[in-house]
Amino acid sequence: MRAVVTGGAGFLGSHLCDRLIEMGYDVLCMDNLSTGSTDNVAHLLGNSRFRFVKHNVVDYLYVEGPVDAVLHFASPASPIDYLEMPIQTLKVGSLGTHKSLGLAREKKARFLMASTSEIYGDPLVNPQPETYWGNVNPIGPRGVYDEAKRFAEAMAMAYRRYHKMDVRIVRIFNTYGPRMRPNDGRVVSNFIVQALQRKPLTVYGDGSQTRSFCFVSDLVSGILALLSAPASEEVATPFNVGNPEERTVRDLASKVLELTGSSSRIETRDLPLDDPHVRCPDITRAKNILGWRPQVGIDEGLRLTIEYFKKMAAVPEIASRILS
């Protein structure tokens, strides 16, 4: 079995590469390194079952030899990234998805794409089931990511219907764990790095907005359960994958302070435009059809993530990015 993973040197993509190899796949990892890093896959570079190619999937996509699965995970995924790279985000969601689908069609491969909870926007329904169509501002600053993923889902389903392809879509909710970038702007990495720096933890708004946090190993297990499921009408529509345990952002900040033993205080700032007030997945379909549910609790997951950042801080060339 051979898999192509676009965005494979990113936070999620690199963990997928690890697990696919464990499952017996040969893996071709593609990444233009705009937000990914070869550090995330350095441990795989000597593995005969792994190959890394620096490539932008917005461009022509050619792979020699057979391919059994294409996993399309290329995209900026944190607000700090897609707000700095709005055009690139729209391109990878449209042109990159088109090229990846074309590769899967050519190779008669199974196609799985990373969508996002952001397609629900600032939801008026909580928790969010896959049947909810969302509340998205298409011309707001976050629209470049929201609409890129909504378009990508539409294109994937068009390929399924028109070309009779085996297509799967995973809507990923907030995920955290080792290999997050310290400066990626996500709330978990922000809080941990600020706590380790003994700087104030920045909470936007009053901190009452809710999120659900899924540890990366659980998230990858859910993705691979979807990839491995037999083809059927049930698996051909999107699946929410995330942790349904909902908590406020302020509660998360307090938890990080507790687990790091930091003396940092919590500091509030204005809420960004279109920032969702609630975000929590309904994972009924994933539980019933895929037999998947998260296993790692928030305390265990945060401890593992904190340890990762502490180890990074012990590396001289990285320490300045974390503890300066």
| Per-residue pLDDT tens over the stretch 85-128 | 999 999 999 999 999 999 999 999 999 999 999 999 999 999 99
User: Which percentage of the chain shows pLDDT scores above 70?
Assistant: 97
| Strand segments (E) across the chain | 2-6, 26-31, 50-54, 69-72, 110-116, 167-172, 175-176, 201-204, 210-212, 214-215, 239-241, 246-248, 266-269
Q: Which two tokens stand for residue 134?
A: 């969302």
Query: Is the pLDDT confidence value at 318 over 60?
Result: no
Q: Residue 232 and residue 13: Cα distance in Å, rounded? A: 25
Give catalytic status of residue 145 as yes or no.
yes
Average pLDDT, the chain: 95
Residue 313, pLDDT score: 77
To the question of domain 2-176+215-241 being in CATH 3.30.450.40, the answer is no
Q: Which two tokens stand for residue 222?
A: 């859910």
Confidence class of residue 273 from pLDDT cuts 50, 70 and 90?
confident
Query: Is the pLDDT confidence value at 321 over 60?
Result: no
Kindly report the CATH number that applies to the domain delimited by 187-211+244-280+296-323: 3.90.25.10
CB atoms within 10 A of CB 256: 25
| Per-residue pLDDT tens over the stretch 26-70 | 999 999 999 999 999 999 999 999 999 999 999 989 999 999 999
Segments of the chain assigned to CATH 3.40.50.720: 2-176+215-241
Q: Is 233 helix (H, G, I), strand (E, B) or coil?
A: coil
Catalytic residue among 82, 120, 145, 159: 145
| Per-residue pLDDT tens over the stretch 174-224 | 999 999 999 899 999 999 999 999 999 999 999 999 999 999 999 999 999
* Helix or strand holding residue 91 (H, E): helix 86-91
Residue 291, pLDDT score: 98
Segments of the chain assigned to CATH 3.90.25.10: 187-211+244-280+296-323
Q: Which two tokens stand for residue 60?
A: 């022509």
251-258: average pLDDT: 97
| Per-residue pLDDT tens over the stretch 135-187 | 999 999 999 999 999 999 999 999 999 999 999 999 999 999 999 999 899 99
Q: Residue 230 and residue 309: Cα distance in Å, rounded? A: 38
